[in-house]
C-alpha cells in the first residue's frame, strides 16, 4: 500500500536554508506534492513535481526527486519567520481516482 514518511520537526535560523525530507513507498506514484498549512488554516498547495522530473525550482523553493530511493525533498532558501508552518508531502497516481496520500507533516520552526 501507499505510505509517506516525514520527520515531524525542523528548527532553523532565519536566513538559513531549510530542507524537509520525505520518503514514499509506491513506485507507481505519478505526482508528488508539497502542501503548506499555516496555523488555523487549511492546506495550500506549495509546489508539485511530476515523476519523470528530477528537480523543480520555483523562486526560493527547490524540489528534488530521487526515484530510485523514493525520496523527495523541499529546500527553502533564505528561510523567513513567515515560512513557519507544517509542510505535508503527498503522492498520487495518474489514472483512476485522484486521491493524494499525505504524510504526517513536518513542523518547520524559524527562529529570528
Partner 1 sequence: GAGVSQSPSNKVTEKGKDVELRCDPISGHTALYWYRQSLGQGLEFLIYFQGNSAPDKSGLPSDRFSAERTGGSVSTLTIQRTQQEDSAVYLCASSFSGNVFGELFFGEGSRLTVL
- CB of residue 9 to partner 1, shortest distance in Å: 11
- CB of residue 49 to partner 1, shortest distance in Å: 11
Q: Which phi and psi (to 5°) does residue 83 adopt?
A: -85, -10
Q: Which phi and psi (to 5°) does residue 67 adopt?
A: -70, -35
Comparing CB distances to partner 1, the nearer of 40 and 112 is 40
- CB of residue 56 to partner 1, shortest distance in Å: 14
Whole-angstrom distance, CA of residue 90 vs CA of residue 3: 9
Whole-angstrom distance, CA of residue 6 vs CA of residue 68: 18
Judged by the rule CB under 8 A, the positions of this chain that interact with partner 1 are 4, 8, 30-31, 35, 40-45, 48, 88, 92, 94, 96-105
Amino acid at each position: 500500500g501507499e505510505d509517506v514518511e516525514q520527520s515531524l520537526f525542523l528548527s532553523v535560523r532565519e536566513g538559513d536554508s531549510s530542507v524537509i525530507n520525505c520518503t514514499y513507498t509506491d513506485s507507481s506514484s505519478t505526482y508528488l506534492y508539497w502542501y503548506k498549512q499555516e496555523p488555523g488554516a487549511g492546506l495550500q498547495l506549495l509546489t508539485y513535481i511530476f515523476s519523470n522530473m528530477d528537480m523543480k525550482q520555483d523562486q526560493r523553493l527547490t524540489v528534488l526527486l530521487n526515484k530510485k530511493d523514493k525520496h523527495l525533498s523541499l529546500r527553502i532558501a533564505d528561510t523567513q519567520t513567515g515560512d513557519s508552518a507544517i509542510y505535508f508531502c503527498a503522492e498520487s497516481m495518474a489514472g483512476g481516482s485522484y486521491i493524494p496520500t499525505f504524510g504526517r507533516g513536518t513542523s518547520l520552526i524559524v527562529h529570528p
